[in-house]
Chains A and B, each alone.
Chain A
Amino acid sequence: MNPISDDRAQLIKRIFDEACALSGDSRERYLNESCAADLLLRDQVEKLLHSDEHVHGRFLQESTQPKVESRMPQRIRGFRLLRKIGEGGMGSVFEAEQEHPRRKVALKVVRFAMVSDSIVRRFEYEVQILGQLKHPGIAQIYEAGMYDDGAGPVPYFAMEYIQGRALLEFVAHHRLSIRQRLELFADICDAVHHAHQKGVIHRDLKPANILVEESHAEKPHPKILDFGVARAVHSDLKLVTMHTEAGQLMGTLSYMSPEQIAGRPDELDVRSDVYTLGVILYELLASRRPYDLAEHSIPEAGRMIREMEPPLLGAIDPVLRGDVETIVAKALTKEKEHRYQSAVGLGEDIRLYLRDEPITARPASATYHIRKFAKRNKAIVGGVAAVFITLVIAVIGITASLLKTREAQRVAIQRSDESQRSAAKAMAVNNFLQEMLSSVDPAKSLGREITIRQALDEAAVKIESGTLKDQPAIEADLRTTIGTTYLGLGHYDEAEPQLRAALDIRRRLCSDACEDVAVSLTNLAYVYSAQGRHAEEESILRDALEMQTRLHGPKHADVASTMQSLGAALRSQQKLAEAEPFYRNALIMRRELLPAEHLDVAQSINSLALLLQDKGDAVGAEPLFREALAMRRKLLGDPHPIVADSLNNLANLLTQRRKTMEAESLLREALAMRRKVLKAEHPQVAQSLNNLAFFLYDNGNYEGAETLYREALAIWRRTLPEGHIDIGNATAGLGLVLLAQKSFAEAEPLLRESLLIRESVLPEGHWRRFATMSVLGAALAGEGKFAEAEPYLIHGYEGLKSQPQLPRKYKQEALQRIIDLYESCNQLETAGRWRSELTTRQTDVYP
């Protein structure tokens, strides 16, 4: 057959596609029409349609994709192979019959051959140990060895053949109660513990590797497969290459402990299996795994396991609140020192719970919660939280016995040796906090955050009473700790006096430039920033910058950070031109001092982009936002609050640049991400709602915009102080939406509130002030209050007109409102005069 021309081919294709959508008579009519007298064309299309109808369901489908396979052998060593029962990343499993003694076995053949003599020797050694594992909960390994398939030695294992269902399938099939699940799980812990005592770690525990025998009707009987196989086969953790499909790997990844993910085989011990047992218990109870890894790349998934806190079980099912939740959380602790130290420890705690006796695990401690809180709020808390977290962990970590040594410390403090003094100082601070934190009974307080709050308040009172008057350095350290803790919790008003007092003390103690004074300065600046006191923030940061430059020279990470903050303080005051060099210098310095991809670099890029956007350089800002987003995604993974910030920033810019499709999807992604990682009432969730609302408004969806604005406003009113600029923005947005829907009377008070806030917060001459005036004028005009409306409309428009960086659209809308006003009160001549301005200004070039 000769090839046909391109046009002809496309014609055939087009007619085929159309005809496919039709049937019966209408298809026939269509073919008559489109092929007309071209009989060959008609024939070709019809043949294809015929093929389409008669094509075998499996033709070219997945199941028929070419396969590469090798034949199943009849026998291996003393085993007769009956059928293949499974296939996994490591190899295949066969049902087989052993000849001597005659019994049924599961024969596992490992896919990849042993490559070196040393690995073969090691394998043999491991096999010996595996033979010693004898426990009713572990599938017995009868024999293991190598056989030669002609191309080299291939390892195999002959194991007890178990008739049963995999764990999760079993509990679902028999609808086991929570109690029954826990009983079953405690038995699994016993079996794992037995192996641990023999020095064998499983390393590849997962529900699929645990079968439950059906024959034991009254009491289900778990059997763990493949104990020690992973270790015997792999010399290290190059497990990844053993898997053909990423999906399979993800399945395995979900059960790996943080230390296993980190690729430190030497750190694996029984507690790594304890972690994995925790994951299995979690899944057994909640029917989902602690982390949702499905949507993530492998490195992202790894990062999630190493860094993210899984949702507490009680958050998934309230029935699981309390002890069960506590037990699982303890098993899943990232640091293995804080997990159960053995599988039997975990199992015992479960049995204590089942007998209604007190369990050994402590309910999620204040530490845990603060850590979680700080993690969730990383975007706000930033570095301060990191300092705080380490401190609290250190404090909690110190055992009660330390308290008894206070007397000894007091002696130590009196010694003159500097290093001893600082050690003693740290100890004293720790003890003070320890005492404070342990003095509050978590069981008696309502929420865990309150616990810490109470401890802090008590600490603050105690310190005010002057117990540390004669030890000013310790007092300053303590006040700093208390202050930054308040800061971490978002209690800025309480943080300020502590940090201010610490600064004053340290200044008194320091004669020239001191590191701790600089730290105090930046801490205090952070509070001012959070309170919106940017002028004070600026002045204190300038002091800090000066001191840091004297301490470290002009090129230093701290100097860069302070420059960055100073840029932000200036930008918040709309001093854009002044802010730019600080931002640029911070970025240059960070690029020089830090790795190419670093969160601080991303922060600097992001800030510079925001500044450019403020200055009206949207084109310049876009690539920077994209770079920051990509870097943060790569470093932090999804979902993450900082990634959500970046999504949001880029989305806002794209909205401005009218790239609406991409903008909307980014806005929605940001909102979903924030809802996932932040509290429902978090101000940043409101920020996302607000942004999406504006987007919808901008695209004419007023109803949708109204709902979202109201939601955002409600959150902000509850969480922000009165008169906060965000409230001013949301009221303006809601007012605008109501205006568009002609609810003028409802819009008016909102717009007045917005104007009031904007006039008190934004600098003189800021375009948003004028925009609000114009919109308020329009609302008043809509209500028929023409005289009141006129000055707002005109003043607002004149103000906007004088801003060269603003899009013409804003100015024209304001102008149109004036025209509408005069037209509605029938002053057509005046309206006409304004209208002439509309036409003349239309020739303006878009800035």
Chain B
Amino acid sequence: MDTGPPDLTRLLNAVERGDVKASDDLLRLVYAELRRLAGALMANTPPGQTLQATALVHEVYLRLVGKETQSWENRGHFFFAAGRAMRDILVERARSAGRLKRGGGRRRVDFENLSVAVDAEDGDLLALDEAMQRMESEYPWEHRIVTLRFFAGMTNEETASAMSAPLRTIERDWRFARAWLHQTLNANDLEHSP
């Protein structure tokens, strides 16, 4: 069993202290592990197997962090990195599968023997990714919430703990983030329509 690099706790602590390089290292590490795991799944996946991407994130957490108890802040850093990495991987796969066909609610991208299904009602992964990029510059706090909630699969409660914020704040800001993303995705659709 791969127990991961032993200094992960130190890395997370460094991120907690605001070490930018550590943030990059963490992201790279999580990204590599997610890819590796997704790859392993692809190779050995029995038929009909579905795994939510967020379950994959949790699996990576178990693998890398394992049984060590981490502070909520550190868990937050980890899941934020994992959420970012997940987003990158999903987007990359969507791109590699070629142009997405538009129209219809649910879009499905097949590649190799794996498919990625995204159910983002009014937009697809790439549009969502673009919107997220914009959100990061305008609303970094809310961007963080979406990354944890949606891409890393944390609950509101977990997100609140990870961000050291009251649950009510997270719920309020999550509401805003959804509305904002929804509005942005719709606006983009209009802009891009011929």
Give residues in A with beta carbon < 8 Å to B.
1, 3-4, 6, 9, 13, 16-17, 20, 47-52, 54-56, 58-60, 62-73, 76, 81, 84, 87, 91-92, 94, 109-113, 149-152, 154, 238, 241, 244-246, 297-299, 634
Q: B47 near A48 (CB under 8 angstroms)?
A: no
Tell me whether A298 and B119 are in contact in the complex, defined as CB-CB below 8 angstroms, given that A51-B179, A60-B178, A60-B181 are known contacts.
no
A634 to B67, CA, bound (A): 12
Q: B44 near A48 (CB under 8 angstroms)?
A: no
Contact with A along B95-135 (1 / 0, CB 8 A): 00000000000000000011111111110010000000010
New A-B contacts (18) at CB < 8 Å, excluding given A64-B119, A151-B42: A1-B187, A4-B138, A51-B179, A59-B120, A59-B121, A68-B38, A68-B56, A70-B47, A71-B113, A73-B47, A87-B49, A92-B46, A109-B48, A152-B43, A152-B44, A154-B46, A241-B1, A244-B59
Contact with A along B31-56 (1 / 0, CB 8 A): 00000001001111111111111111
Is the C-beta of B193 less than 8 angstroms from some C-beta in chain A? no
Q: What chain B residues lie within 8 Å of A297 (beta carbons)?
A: 67, 69
Q: What chain B residues lie within 8 Å of A112 (beta carbons)?
A: 44
Tell me whether A17 and B176 are in contact in the complex, defined as CB-CB below 8 angstroms, given that A3-B138, A56-B121 are known contacts.
yes
For A47, the closest partner residue in chain B by CB is B183
Please report whether the interface of chain B is mostly helix, strand, loop or mixed according to DSSP. helix
Q: What chain B residues lie within 8 Å of A84 (beta carbons)?
A: 48
Q: B45 near A150 (CB under 8 angstroms)?
A: no
A1 to B133, CA, bound (A): 13
Tell me whether A69 and B178 are in contact in the complex, defined as CB-CB below 8 angstroms, given that A3-B137, A60-B146, A246-B62 are known contacts.
no
A–B complex contacts, Cβ < 8 Å, 12 sampled: A20-B172, A47-B183, A52-B179, A59-B122, A60-B146, A66-B86, A67-B53, A69-B117, A111-B49, A154-B46, A245-B58, A297-B67
Q: What chain A residues lie within 8 Å of B149 (beta carbons)?
A: 60
Q: A51 near B182 (CB under 8 angstroms)?
A: yes
Q: What chain A residues lie within 8 Å of B178 (beta carbons)?
A: 51-52, 55, 59-60
Tell me whether A91 and B179 are in contact in the complex, defined as CB-CB below 8 angstroms, given that A51-B186, A71-B115 are known contacts.
no
Q: B53 near A68 (CB under 8 angstroms)?
A: yes
Is the C-beta of B76 less than 8 angstroms from some C-beta in chain A? no
For A56, the closest partner residue in chain B by CB is B121
For B128, the closest partner residue in chain A by CB is A60
Tell me whether A65 and B153 are in contact in the complex, defined as CB-CB below 8 angstroms, given that A16-B179, A55-B179 are known contacts.
yes
Chain B, interface residues (CB within 8 Å), range: 35 or more
Tell me whether A109 and B47 are in contact in the complex, defined as CB-CB below 8 angstroms, given that A1-B187, A66-B116, A67-B52 are known contacts.
yes
Our pick among A49, A92, A299 for the contact of B49 (Cβ within 8 Å) is: A92
Q: B46 near A67 (CB under 8 angstroms)?
A: no
Q: What chain B residues lie within 8 Å of A13 (beta carbons)?
A: 139, 142, 176
Q: What chain B residues lie within 8 Å of A245 (beta carbons)?
A: 55, 58
Q: B182 near A55 (CB under 8 angstroms)?
A: yes
Q: B120 near A60 (CB under 8 angstroms)?
A: yes
Is the C-beta of B15 less than 8 angstroms from some C-beta in chain A? no
* Residue among B134, B179, B186 facing the most chain A CB atoms (10 A cut-off): B179
Q: What chain A residues lie within 8 Å of B44 (beta carbons)?
A: 111-113, 149, 151-152, 154
Our pick among B41, B69, B142, B181 for the contact of A68 (Cβ within 8 Å) is: B41
A17 to B171, CA, bound (A): 11
A458 to B20, CA, bound (A): 73
Q: What chain A residues lie within 8 Å of B86 (beta carbons)?
A: 66
Tell me whether A150 and B113 are in contact in the complex, defined as CB-CB below 8 angstroms, given that A58-B121, A70-B48 are known contacts.
yes
A66 to B59, CA, bound (A): 15
Our pick among A1, A69, A154, A241 for the contact of B114 (Cβ within 8 Å) is: A69
Q: What chain A residues lie within 8 Å of B118 (beta carbons)?
A: 64, 66
For B121, the closest partner residue in chain A by CB is A56
CB distance from B89 to the nearest CB of A (A): 9
Q: A81 near B47 (CB under 8 angstroms)?
A: yes
Our pick among A9, A20, A52, A60 for the contact of B139 (Cβ within 8 Å) is: A9
Q: A92 near B48 (CB under 8 angstroms)?
A: yes
Is the C-beta of B10 less than 8 angstroms from some C-beta in chain A? no
Is the C-beta of B175 less than 8 angstroms from some C-beta in chain A? yes
Q: What chain B residues lie within 8 Å of A149 (beta carbons)?
A: 44-47
A62 to B56, CA, bound (A): 14
Our pick among A9, A52, A65, A298 for the contact of B138 (Cβ within 8 Å) is: A9
Q: What chain A residues lie within 8 Å of B42 (beta carbons)?
A: 70, 151
For A115, the closest partner residue in chain B by CB is B44
